[in-house]
Amino acid sequence: MNTDLQDYTHMRFNILTGECVLVSPHRAKRPWQGQNEEISKEVRPSHDKTCYLCAGNPRVSGDINPKYKDVFVFTNDFGSLQKDSKSFKIEEGLILAQSETGVCKVICFSPDHSKSLADMEVINIEKVVEAWQNEYKSLGEIDTINYVQIFENKGAVMGCSNPHPHGQIWSQSTLPNEVYKKDRHQYAYFNSNSTSLLGNYLAQELKQNERIVFENDSFVVLVPFWGIWPFETMIVPKKHQKSILEMNEIEVSLYAEAISVVTKAYDKLFSCSFPYSSGIHQAPTNGENNDHWHWHMSFYPPLLRSATVKKFMVGYEMFGSPQRDITPEIAAQKLRELI
Ligand SMILES: [Zn+2]
């Protein structure tokens, strides 16, 4: 390991987005206050009469949820994107805008209100992955949908208003900012090297073995070299695959295992139901070949050093660059020890 990276302030480069993160490892050596604080553990019922995501309950739209047994997907009654909204474009000097259409869906991971992905059996997480595959395929086949964003906000601290285990799928005609950046950087690399940027990065990570958290036959969980969040992780398929549709049955199962391992480790880290935003970045559904894409899933958890101490992206991070104290190498080691 290069010890300079553990001792001195430096900038790390994100090869996927072209952005930098400021790493200040000397600050992580400050004495910590309030480490390992216990928070009250909320015990939830497996069915909540007032929850609009529980099986058999009514939603605000008046629709009644079916008595689903594993995964349930529905179109968001109040989606941010709408399929049939007015089409327009504004180009008035430097005032630029254009209409955007799409479909927003909600996916309930389990009928059990009390569970999270970390509590679910791998076989049930497989059903969630299969539902993601179906949605990516069917939404992507719509002419006007060029990108399908699958994500989850877990925990009140991430702005998630309902504790029922669920995620979202927003699909739209324009590439969102983060996807656009990753698209451009992967394309440039693939164009000059004819190999996957993330695939080559993964080979280097496996060789160095400093930021690997978990590995099975098809997937690697690692703390990316350029991670911003203290315990950020990424699940990357070892094979160069453009999207989750390229996984076979065994790979679906191994991917579900990787999700289970990382979410369980998170819950153990500060003895709490660990909040995060997670999402899958994969090939756009714009009809192009997109061979430069190597899909991956990222977890962005906000907790810093206990269940009650959260990292804030403020000040310098809003006006300059993201900054972190604990290094990705130390974070990977802490997570590895929990598996
Ligand atoms: Zn519920």
Q: Which two tokens stand for residue 144?
A: 């006007």
150: three-class secondary structure by DSSP: strand
CA of 224 relative to ligand 1 center, distance in Å: 33
Task: Return the residue matching tokens 């009514």.
Answer: 58
Q: What is the pLDDT of residue 161?
A: 79
Q: How far is CA 163 from CA 63, 192, 317, in A?
A: 20, 46, 29
CA of 47 relative to ligand 1 center, distance in Å: 6
Model confidence over 16-28: pLDDT tens digits?
999 999 999 988 7
Rounded to whole angstroms, how far apart are CA atoms 27 and 6?
A: 11
Rounded to whole angstroms, how far apart are CA atoms 187 and 237?
A: 18
Model confidence over 279-320: pLDDT tens digits?
999 999 999 999 999 999 999 999 988 888 888 889 999 999
Model confidence over 135-152: pLDDT tens digits?
999 999 999 999 999 999
166 carries an active-site annotation: yes
Contact 275, 301 (CB under 8 A): yes
CA of 299 relative to ligand 1 center, distance in Å: 23
Contact 234, 296 (CB under 8 A): yes
Catalytic residue (choose from 113, 166, 294, 296): 166
Residue type, 337: E
Rounded to whole angstroms, how far apart are CA atoms 273 and 117?
A: 10
CA of 73 relative to ligand 1 center, distance in Å: 14
For residue 323, the surrounding DSSP H or E stretch is: strand 323-324
CA of 129 relative to ligand 1 center, distance in Å: 20
Q: What is the pLDDT of residue 37?
A: 43
Q: What is the pLDDT of residue 38?
A: 47
CA of 272 relative to ligand 1 center, distance in Å: 19
Model confidence over 215-241: pLDDT tens digits?
999 999 999 999 999 999 999 999 999
Model confidence over 167-208: pLDDT tens digits?
999 999 999 999 999 999 999 999 999 999 999 999 999 999
CA of 280 relative to ligand 1 center, distance in Å: 24
